Structure 1
Amino acid sequence: MDREMEWNAEVTKIHHINYVRNSRAITVAWFVFSACYTILNIVAFIQPFWFGDTTQSPGVGYFGLIEWCERIQGSEYSCTGNFLDFNTLMNDYFRASSFLVGGAALLFIFSIICMLLFLFLKPALVLKICGWLQLIAAVFMAVACIIYPNGFDDDNVRRICGQDATAYNMDKCQIRWAYILGIVLIFDAFILAILAFVLAVRQAKMLPEFKKLKEEHLRYIHEWRDQ
C-alpha cells in the first residue's frame, strides 16, 4: 500500500511537470508568433504596395498607407508621404488607416514588453493583459482595412487608376500584396489573442487542480502511515 501511494504521488508529480513544461512551450510559441506578427505589421505599415497600376491603367504608380509613388519619366518615381507629417498623407481615410495600423503594431509591441511582467505578476494575469492588447490590435487592423478603400475617391488615384475610381472602386488598378498581408494579419491577431486567453485560463484553473490532487495523495500517504 505504501508503494502504491508513493507511486500515485510520483505519477501526479510527473503529470504536473509535463503540464508546466507543455504550457511553457506553448507560451514561448505564442511569444515568437507575436514577435513575427509585429514585424509583419510594421512591414505592411511602411510598404507602399497596398494597391497600384495595371497594364490597363492610364498612369503608373502605387499606393500604401503613408506613401504613394507615381512614375514621372522612365524608371524614376516621385514618392510623397511622411507619417510624421499627416498633411503629406493623401486623404483622411488613408490617415485614419495608417494611424490604426500603426496603433496595432504598437499594441503588439506593448504585449511583447508585457512579458517582463511574468517576473512580478501571475502568468494568468499577464496573459490576459496581452490578450486584450492583441484583441484591440485585431480590431484596429480590421477597421483600417475596411475604411482604407474609401480613400480611392481621390484625384491622385484617378490620375493613375482611371477617372471612374471612387470609394471601394479602384477602376483599372488592383490590390497588391501589402493589403492582402494586412487582411491576413487581422485573423492572425484574433488567433493570437484567443490563444493568450486560453493559456491564461489554463494557467488559472489547471495548475490548482494538479496541486490539489498532489496534496490529496500526500495526505493519503500520511494517513496510511499514521494508522
Structure 2
Amino acid sequence: MSSGLSKVGVIWALASFLSATAASVGFYLPFWLQGWMRDEHVTPVYFGVFRRCNYPKLMKTGLIKVVEECGRYTTFYDIPSMSWQIAAVLVGVGCGIAILVSFTALLAMCIKDIFSETAVRVAGVVQLLAGLLIGAGIAIYPNGWDSIEVQQACGHASASYRMGGCQLSWAFYLTAGGAAVTMICAALSCGASKEKTFAYHV
C-alpha cells in the first residue's frame, strides 16, 4: 500500500496516535492525585477528574470510612468540584478530538492521497485545539483541591492549587505529557503531506 504521507508525516501519524492514547488512558484512570486515609491502617486514596480509588465516605454515625474500591462518580453532578466537572468536559472533548485526528492520520499512512496538504494543516490546527483543551482541563483541575472530599484525604491545608498532604500521581503526568506531545504533533503536521510532483509537457 502506498502512503500519502512524507517521512515526517509517518512520524506525525505515529506520534499522534501515541499521544492521543496516552492522554486518553491518563484521563480515564483515577491516579491523578494521591492522598492517604489513616484509620486502623494507612490506605492510599486516589482522585481523577471523574473517578476515584479508596475514597473517604462520611457515614451516618459521623465517622469517615474508606471505601476500598475504584469507580466513577455515580452522576456527573456527584463530582465534588465544579472545577473537576469543567476539567472532565475539557479533557474528554480534547481526547476525543485527538483520537479522531490520530486515526485519520494512521489511515493516511495506508491510503494514498486521502489527505491534501491543506487537509493535513487543518488536521494540525484541530490537533492544536485538542492539546489546548486537554491542557486547560489539567490547569483547572487543581482548583478543585478545596473540596471536602480532597481535604479528608489531603488534610485541611489543601486548598485551590495547594495539595496539602497529597501528591500528584502518574496518570496526571501521563495526561499532561499526552497533551504536550499532541501540540508538538500539530507543528509536525506542517511537513506531513507528500509534495505533489507535476509533469510538464512542452
TM over 0.5: yes
Give yes or no for contact 2:37–2:66 (8 Å, CA) kept in 1. no
Q: Cα distance 1:60–1:109, how it changes in 2: closer, same or farther (>3 A)?
A: closer
Change in 2 beyond 3 A, CA 1:110/1:167: same
Q: Secondary structure at the match of 1:53?
A: strand
The structure whose RCO (Cα within 8 Å, separation 6+) is larger is: 2
> In 1, Cα distance between the equivalents of 2:12 and 2:183?
12
Q: For residues 1-227 of structure 1, what are the structure 2 equivalents within 5 Å?
A: 23-53=5-35, 60-70=44-54, 77-79=68-70, 81-82=72-73, 85-115=75-105, 122-200=115-193, 203=194, 206-207=195-196, 211=198, 215=200
Please tell me whether the aligned partners of residues 81 and 90 of structure 1 are also in contact (alpha carbons under 8 angstroms): no
Q: Partner of 2:54: helix, strand, or coil? A: strand
Per the TM alignment, residue 108 of structure 1 is displaced from its structure 2 partner at its CA by: 1.5
Which residue matches 1:224?
A: none
Distance 1:95 1:127, change over 3 A: same
Unaligned runs of at least 5 residues, structure 1: 1-19, 220-227
Give the total of aligned pairs.
188
Question: Which stretch has the larger CA shift, 98-107 or 71-80?
Answer: 71-80
Q: Partner of 1:68: helix, strand, or coil?
A: strand
Change (3 A) 1:21 1:31: closer
TM-score by length of 1: 0.70
Task: Measure the CA separation in 2 of the matches of 1:159 and 1:67.
Answer: 16
The answer to whether the Cα contact below 8 Å between 1:54 and 1:174 also exists between their aligned partners in 2 is no
- CA distance in 2 between partners of 1:147 and 1:75 (Å): 27
Taking a change above 3 Å as real, the CA distance of residues 161 and 43 of structure 1, as seen in their structure-2 partners, is same
For the aligned residue pairs, the C-alpha RMSD in angstroms reads 3.3
Distance 1:59 1:172 in 2: 14
Pairwise CA distance, 1:79: 4.2
Once the two structures are TM-superposed, the CA of residue 102 in structure 1 deviates from its matched residue by 1.0
What is the deviation of 1:120? 7.0
Could you tell me which runs of 5 or more consecutive residues in structure 2 were left unpaired when the two chains were aligned: 57-63
**Residue by residue, what CA displacement relative to the aligned partner does 1:115-146 show, whole Å, maximum 9, x if unpaired?**
45866765212212211211101111111111
Q: Percent identity of the aligned residues?
A: 22
Check conservation: 1:61, 1:160, Cα contact below 8 A. yes
Question: Between Structure 1 and Structure 2, which shows a larger proportion of strand residues?
Answer: 2
TM-aligned CA deviation for residue 182 of structure 1: 2.0
Tell me, in whole angstroms, the C-alpha distance in 1 between the residues paired with 2:178 and 2:88.
15
Paired position in structure 2 for 1:6:
none
Q: Which has the larger radius of gyration?
A: 1
Q: 1:35–1:140: structure 2 CA closer, same or farther, 3 Å change rule?
A: same
Shift of 1:85: 2.8
How far is 1:59 from its partner?
A: 6.8
Amino acid at match of 2:151: R
Deviation at 1:27, TM superposition (A): 1.9
Do the aligned partners of residues 55 and 78 (structure 1) sit closer, same or farther apart at CA in structure 2, a change above 3 Å counting? closer
Higher helix share: 1
